[in-house]
Amino acid sequence: MLSQLNERMQKWGFSWVGLRDNRHGEWWVLAQMILIAAHWLPPTPPPSGLGIHWPLALRLIGGLTFLIGLVIGAQGALNLGDSLSPLPEPMPGAPLVTEGAYGRCRHPLYQSLLLCSLGVTLALGSLLHLGLLLALATVLSLKARREEQRLCSMHSDYAHYMTSTPAIVPFLPGLDWR
Over residues 85-103, the pLDDT tens digits come to 999 988 888 899 999 999 9
pTM for this predicted structure: 0.91
Cβ within 8 Å of residue 63, ≥6 positions away: 119, 123
Task: Give the number of other Cβ atoms within 10 Å of residue 175's Cβ.
Answer: 21
Per-residue pLDDT tens digits for 52-82? 899 999 999 999 999 999 999 999 999 999 8
User: 121, exposed or middle or buried, with CB in 10 Å at 0-12, 13-18, 19+?
Assistant: buried
The answer, yes or no, to whether residue 18 has pLDDT greater than 90, is: no
The answer, yes or no, to whether residue 117 has pLDDT greater than 80, is: yes
pLDDT band at 160 (very low <50, low <70, confident <90, very high): very high
Q: What's residue 43's pLDDT?
A: 93
| CB 141, CB 168: distance < 8 Å | yes
Q: How far apart are CA 93 and CA 142, in angstroms?
A: 23
